[in-house]
Every structure is written in C-alpha cells, then in structure tokens.
Structure 1
Amino acid sequence: MFELRLMCPEDRVESLSDALDALDALSVSVEDADAQTDAEQALFGEPGMPAPKEGWQRSRVIALFDKEDVAREAAALLQAQDFFDTCQVLGINAVPDQDWVRLTQSQFAPVEITPEFWIVPTWHEPPAQAQQVIRLDPGLAFGTGTHPTTRMCLRWIATHAVPARVLDYGCGSGILAIGASKYGAQEVLAVDIDEAAVQSTELNAEANRVALVAGLPDKAVGVFGLVLANILATPLKVLAPLLCSHVEKGGQLVLAGILERQADELKAAYAPYGQLTFSDSEDGWILMTATI
C-alpha cells in the first residue's frame, strides 16, 4: 500500500478530495498541516454534525493507493489540473504492512453502561464485575454502545422496570432491543427503514441468544409498554404522532438523538401527546422521556 501526501489551501480541499476519489484512492484523510504548532487551528462543530469548514488554511491531504504506480499516476494527473495551482505534492511513501484486523479491533474496548452492564466485542473477555453483557462488534449499522445516545438509552433500560412488550423504532444494530430483552421484556419488536439494519439486528439477537422480531416499520402494529427511538431530532419531531400512537396508556416513551439546544423543539412537538422531560445528558446530547 502506498500513501500520496499533498498540501493544499482550505478552498481546494473538497476539489482535491473529490478528484482523489475519482482516481480510485482507497481512502482520503485531511489533517491540519500546522497541528501541534502555534499556528494550529481548532475546528469545532455540534456533536454528530459536519465540521464548520472542509479543512484548514494549510491542509495536508493523505490518499492511500494499493500500488505505487497508481499513486504516481494520480499525482501526475492532479498536477495537470487547473485547481492544483495552489497545491503541492509532498511525496509518495510505502505504508508498512500491518495486521489491520487486529489494529482495528484494538481500537474497540468494552463499553461500560453501568458498573454491572457492559457492551463487549467478541474478541474481548467481559470485565469481572459485568453481570449483564451484550456481545456486539462494530459494524455497518448505527449502535455499538460507543455513542452517548446509545449509552443513555441502555442506561435507562438498565435502571428502570422494563415492561413485557417493547418497540425499538429505528433499531440500527438492534442494541436497544437486545438490551430490553436482557432486562426482562418478553416481546420485543425492532424496526428500521434500512433492510441492512434489520439483518444486523437479527444476527446480533441470535449472537446474544435473545428472542425478538425485526422488520421494516410496517411491522410495528399495536401498542407497547415502552417505545424506544434513538434517531435524530428532526425525524423524531415528524414521527411524534406515530410513536405516541404505539405507546399504551400509562406506557413510557424514551427518545434520544437530541442535542441540548433542541429540547424545547421536542417538547413542543410532543406536547399534544405527553410531557417530555429531561432524563439524562452526555457530551452535548440529552435523553428525553414521557409517560403517555
């Protein structure tokens, strides 16, 4: 594998990245060329939202190619383009071979939900204090326990009485549905608009030896003692009538994917059905709940 390193100003980052993608780069990353110097620039955005700018005043762009000749051809083609006039080729270097699977796995450690409840990748042993464990490997579907919204939902499940019938709307990996099953739910339905998420949920449920039903949203029929929805604020507002219609009288609604500044918007959207209240917060995200 070979690494093509380039320098460009902020206004050329997007054009350069798009061109590298078109030239079959395996990956493209952008770094602050002035990092760890007095000229370093911090780029901050809202949690879960795109960065406010594409790059830095002096951006280092690194593209990976599987062969050296492909990297050199890409560099030559880029230098012939008009947009490259303020850019620079820094060099092409071989990337040492590594056990990429092991390296990737090393980045994912067990995640603590409560002192007794943990999310543990299959290549790790559960911590000694873990009394309840969900085995889940990082995959394509959202929900591996590493994001604050997922942790808050699981923390709520672990610290409240879970009713017999539970709906996980927008299930992703199925982690919330699995958590509800492990904490006493007898009938769990997990739905998502993405068929890959449905398949992921079924596989993860099987790996964790829990029984649940997964499917597309049209499978959500009837009412439930608990409805979980870890999505984002905008779809949560649109889905307010639907989600509340699935909560039985006196049942619980648990919503996540909400930034602190969006709390009032959500309260207003759900006011006709119940009073949403703040329940938990982590890293700029909040958990909101209601009794319907």
Structure 2
Amino acid sequence: MFELTLLAQEAEVELLSDALMEVEALSVSVEDADADTEHEEALWGEPGMPVPREAWQRSTIKSLFPDEAQALEAVTLILAQDWAHDIHVQGIQAVDEQDWVRLTQSQFQPVPITDAFWIVPTWHEVPAGARVAMRLDPGLAFGTGTHPTTRMCLKWLAQHADAYAGQPVLDYGCGSGILAIGALLHGAASADAVDIDPAAVDATLANADANVAHLKDAQGRLPLRVGLPDLVGEAEGAYPVVLANILATPLKMLAPLLAGHVAPGGHLVLAGILARQEQELTDAYAEAGFELRVANEEEGWILMTAHKQVARAG
C-alpha cells in the first residue's frame, strides 16, 4: 500500500478530494498542514450549523493506493488539470499493509439510482421495490455508483433506455464497467467498454460476469467487449449512445474521437465535469459539431449531453 501526500490551498481541497476518488484512491483524508505550529487553525461551528469554512488555509491531503505505480499515475493525471497549479506533491511512501479493501467496503450501502434501479453490494439484500439491481462491490477500478458523476450517468441510462434498446453502446473510460453493465441491464443489445487501465478491464469483466451472465449467448459469450482503447479503434458513427465519465481535461482532448463514435441520431453523454467547466466543454465539442447542454447537476458536478442530428437527403 502506498500513501500519496499533497499540499493544497483552501479553495482546492474539496475539488482535489473528489478528483482523488475519481482516480481510484482507496481513501482520502484531509489535515491541517500547519497543525502543531503557531499557525494551526481550529475549525468548528455551532451545534446544528455548518462549519464556517470547509478546509484549512493550507491542507495536507493523504490518499491511499494499492501500489506505487497507481499513486504516480493518479498524481500525474491530477497535476495535468487546469485547476491544479497550486497543488504540491509532498511525497509517495509505502505504508504498513492493512485490509483497506475490507475497511472501505464496510462504508458502502445500497445506492438508489431511481426508485426501481439500485446498485447493491453483495453483502446487502436487494431493497424491496428494486426491479433492476446491479451487484457491485468496491474494488480497484473507479465506479461504484456513490459518486455524483456515476449516479447521473446511470440515471440517464435508466430514463433513456428507449434511445438504445436493442442497440450497442460505448462506455469510454469504463472503470468498473458500471455504465456498460447498466446499459445492458436496461436493454442494450451489446456494449463495448474501454479503459487505459488493465485493472479496469479485469474489473469490468468480473462485474459483467456477476451481473449479466444471464445474457450470454449459446456459445457462452457475454454481450460485452472490453479492452484498451484500440478495441474500438476508428469505429466511426457506430454507437447510438456514447458515454464517457472521466475528467474535464481528457474529455476536451477526446472530443473529436468521442464525437466521431456517435451514430447519426445518437446521443453523447459526458460526466466528470464541474459546473464551472461547462463553457470549456461546450466550446470543445462545438468544434466537433455537437451542441452540449447540461442535463443534470449534483453537488457541483454536471452531466452534459448532446444529440447528433441525422443528415437530411438532398
């Protein structure tokens, strides 16, 4: 187990903490960087009232990763974000091995996406009234349904199943495979799921086998292909729905590629975007021929969608 320690100013703490969870940190903790000095600050509020500030002027953020390579990859991705110029790396070090996965799992409860659609860890009973339940446990790949970006994508899938029923979908940056599996559970004929992380590929296969094994064909094949991005290559206009729940900077870089995968009449669904980044994404995808709009918002994160027009003959 490796601990990544970062130093952040007050304004970046909440955003950095969310980003660390997005890049698969097993846990995140925030401490006063000036603790035990003359500059130490105490943060508290009146009973029943919110604290006056969410973080210290200078905070130390510590996050745990399964190995050093994942910690390095995570900090590299975060430092590439346009808001991270005041984030400083204090170190990456090995820590005593503990059963962090089990400790993390104990924090997870069933997550309602809609009244009828729930994400349920395997150690919990399926809630009464859940007509669609995905069994998903926390693991090394991001995507357990607890983060607002994931919930908004899943809610879109549940509410727009008629847009892709009986057709293929693409989950780009699949993490745990939660979006591809959600689409299959709501009637997609097949799903392609890609990620740059081999651990995500393995997690997606395992989660798909646990949730959609009943959809295997006569040869025992799942209606799902999963692999690195070259799995789909230059499949132009192949998908009625393309989903990408990553972060704003890679979403901007991927605009031509993702837009190119959407079939005429199809939908583009993007998440991992902060509300203040709306215009950046709008501009990036306008250049790719898409008019993004905000379809949902939770806790400062937004879901942006666009519909690809069908070319008219003549």
TM-score normalised to the size of structure 1? Answer: 0.69
| Structure of larger gyration radius | 1
The unaligned stretches of length 5 or more in structure 1 are 1-9, 11-26, 45-50, 62-98
Distance between the aligned counterparts of 2:156 and 2:225, measured in 1? Answer: 22
Query: Does the alignment pair 1:154 with 2:154?
Result: yes
Distance between the aligned counterparts of 1:188 and 1:52, measured in 2? Answer: 45
Distance between the aligned counterparts of 1:277 and 1:101, measured in 2? Answer: 37
Equivalent residues in 2 for 1:3-14, closer than 5 Å? none
Amino acid at match of 1:220: V
Query: Match for residue 246 of structure 2?
Result: 231
2:304 pairs with one of 270, 279, 288: 288
Query: Match for residue 79 of structure 1?
Result: none
Amino acid at match of 1:123: W
Equivalent residues, number: 220
Amino acid at match of 1:180: A
Query: Match for residue 188 of structure 1?
Result: 191
Shift of 1:274: 1.2
Amino acid at match of 1:53: R
Amino acid at match of 1:248: A
Query: Match for residue 274 of structure 2?
Result: 259
Contact 2:271 2:303 (8 Å CA) reproduced: yes
Shift of 1:179: 0.1
Query: Does the alignment pair 1:42 with 2:49?
Result: no
User: Relative to 1, partners in 2 of residues 1:100 and 1:232: Cα closer, same or farther, differing over 3 Å?
Assistant: closer
Shift of 1:141: 0.7
Distance between the aligned counterparts of 2:254 and 2:57, measured in 1? Answer: 28
Contact 1:168 1:177 (8 Å CA) reproduced: yes
Shift of 1:31: 3.9
Contact 1:162 1:180 (8 Å CA) reproduced: no
User: Relative to 1, partners in 2 of residues 1:242 and 1:106: Cα closer, same or farther, differing over 3 Å?
Assistant: same
The unaligned stretches of length 5 or more in structure 2 are 1-8, 10-26, 36-41, 63-98, 214-221, 309-314
Shift of 1:220: 1.2
User: Relative to 1, partners in 2 of residues 1:108 and 1:198: Cα closer, same or farther, differing over 3 Å?
Assistant: same
2:211 pairs with one of 208, 211, 215: 208
Shift of 1:100: 7.8
Query: Match for residue 167 of structure 1?
Result: 170
Distance between the aligned counterparts of 1:267 and 1:29, measured in 2? Answer: 33
SS of 1:263's equivalent in the other structure is helix
- How many percent identity over aligned positions? 61
Contact 2:45 2:52 (8 Å CA) reproduced: no
SS of 1:269's equivalent in the other structure is helix
Contact 2:43 2:52 (8 Å CA) reproduced: yes
Amino acid at match of 2:256: P
Shift of 1:29: 5.7
1:245 pairs with one of 239, 260, 263: 260
2:232 pairs with one of 213, 220, 228: 220
Contact 2:255 2:284 (8 Å CA) reproduced: yes
Query: Does the alignment pair 1:276 with 2:266?
Result: no
Amino acid at match of 2:114: T
Contact 2:120 2:126 (8 Å CA) reproduced: yes
Distance between the aligned counterparts of 1:203 and 1:35, measured in 2? Answer: 43
Query: Does the alignment pair 1:54 with 2:59?
Result: yes
Contact 2:181 2:212 (8 Å CA) reproduced: no
Contact 1:115 1:129 (8 Å CA) reproduced: yes
SS of 1:214's equivalent in the other structure is strand
Distance between the aligned counterparts of 2:199 and 2:304, measured in 1? Answer: 27
